[in-house]
């Protein structure tokens, strides 16, 4: 547990959780609390379309569990660490460092012209981990290399191989810093 005592919640007069499972808004404007099935629309940051819509706007959204402080990326309606459904949406830092990496010699057809690819798991400054492509040769990176997440639109070739619902989703790439 992170020691979060809920002191930022009032008795419901300010829109905070009243104990009935309704969601509220955190101090940063992000959603906080339980999400109802009706709220899980394509625009919701708790869905992949909502997450990628924010990423297309160059915003990296995560969910922070208000019970154990775990950061969930992409955001989810429930914490995978403790099971709590009290999740606050927040914009995350796009910087971090490589914790492990590999080289992909034979990537998917959409990326074969760029082979070999360096793929890494990056621990962001928020503590969340995100897997992605690194814009550097395998031999040029190491564990602990600082990186910054950049976002770009898909190329025409990448779009050809994307699933219909993914055609407008952007691609994130880590750039060494």
Reading the block at residue 129, the tokens are: 């981990």
Q: Which CATH architecture has domain 95-176?
A: Beta Barrel (2.40)
pTM of the entire predicted model: 0.75
Bond into 70 cis (ω within 30): no
* Three-state SS at 55: helix
Could you give the residue range(s) of every CATH 2.40.50 domain in the chain? 95-176
Tens of pLDDT, residues 90-141: 999 999 999 999 999 999 988 998 999 999 999 999 999 999 999 999 999 9
Residues 118, 165, 49: CA angle, nearest 5 degrees: 80
Q: Give the model's confidence band at 32: pLDDT under 50 very low, under 70 low, under 90 confident, else very high.
A: low
Residue 59 to residue 37: CA distance in whole angstroms: 24
- Supply the pLDDT for residue 48: 87
- CA 159, 161, 167, 170 dihedral sign is negative
Tens of pLDDT, residues 42-75: 677 888 888 999 999 999 999 999 999 999 999 9
Give how far Cα 145 sits from Cα of 88, 101, 103, 122, 142, Å. 29, 10, 15, 9, 6
């Amino acid at each position: 547990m992170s020691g979060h005592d809920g002191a930022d919640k009032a008795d419901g007069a300010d829109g905070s959780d009243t104990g009935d499972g309704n969601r509220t808004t955190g101090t940063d404007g992000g959603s906080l609390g339980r999400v109802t099935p009706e709220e899980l629309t394509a625009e919701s940051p708790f869905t992949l379309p909502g997450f990628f819509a924010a990423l297309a706007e160059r915003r990296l959204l995560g969910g922070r569990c208000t019970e154990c402080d775990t950061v969930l990326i992409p955001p989810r309606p429930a914490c995978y660490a403790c099971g709590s459904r009290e999740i606050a949406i927040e914009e995350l830092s796009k910087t971090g460092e490589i914790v492990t990496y590999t080289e992909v010699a034979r990537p998917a057809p959409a990326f074969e012209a760029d082979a070999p690819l360096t793929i890494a798991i990056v621990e962001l400054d928020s503590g969340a981990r995100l897997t992605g492509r690194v814009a550097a040769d395998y031999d040029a990176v190491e564990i602990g290399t600082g990186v910054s997440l950049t976002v770009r639109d898909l190329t025409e070739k990448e779009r050809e191989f994307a699933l219909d619902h993914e055609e407008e989703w952007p691609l994130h790439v880590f750039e060494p810093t």
